[in-house]
Amino acid sequence: MDAQAGFFYLFSAVLLYAALRVVTARNPVHAVLHLILAFSQAAGIWLLLRAEFLAIVLVLVYVGAVMVLFVFIVMMLDIRIDTLRGSLWSHLPLAAFVGGLIAFEMAAVLMTGFRGVDEPKALAAAVDAAGQLVPYSNTRELGKLLYSEYLYPIEVAAMILLVAMIAAIALTLRHRKDTKAIDASLAVRVRPQDRLVVVKVPVTQPAAPLPEAPPPAAAEENKA
């Protein structure tokens, strides 16, 4: 077994463990952290497949941005796991059916889908319209493919992500009675005369001074 196969088995084992912990973790924050670990291991597998652009996008976009957003959302939602686990067993048959179907499809593709297919080889250079050699870039070719043949699926995915972002903001936006907020429109429309009001207080005669208390020695003499 060469080094590439060893790294593949290592990344795959850690990926399977992290994916299992995402489902079985009791703390949602721990589940999100294990999902970050799963994404990092998937990026390593993509590096072995010579898909450097997809690997770095997975790390920068999903691990560096999306999963951090998930962590903040999970913390702000304050999910009660005890209340959610009560209804978990009622959905177990459906979850088992969907999981088994996905596992069957993945096994069918991995066992029969790649037979007789040669390993793709990257081109060292390509020829442009003028007949000149241009250095080959898989990132450029991927961009051309995505924004030509797969333009509508990308737009649909962008709309789904936009709806998910709005839903996340709506879930975290709660109106609490114990919080204090300032209305920005009222602060902008304020006038100087509304900030300070001068009240004229009528001048009254000072009250008569109270009689002074006798010194302690004189008070003792009077008692005697």
CATH of the domain at 73: 1.20.120.1200
Instruction: Clarify whether residues 1 and 69 are in a common domain.
Output: yes
In a domain, 222, yes or no: no
> b vs e for 42-52, b when ≥16 Cβ sit within 10 Å of the residue's Cβ?
bbbbbbeeebe
Residue-range definition of the domain harbouring residue 72? 1-81
Least confident of 5-19, 82-96, 137-151: 82-96
Domain end, chosen from 48, 81, 114, is at 81
What average pLDDT does the chain have? 77
pLDDT digits 0-9 by tens, 165-181: 888 788 777 666 766 77
pLDDT digits 0-9 by tens, 75-122: 776 666 556 655 667 777 888 888 888 888 878 877 776 565 565 555
* Nearest to 124, CA basis, from 135, 116, 115: 135
In a domain, 163, yes or no: yes
CB 38 within 8 A of CB 23: no
Number of domains forming the structure of the chain: 2
In a domain, 150, yes or no: yes
Which helix H or strand E contains 126, and what residues bound it?
A: strand 125-127
Domain end, chosen from 173, 192, 209, is at 173
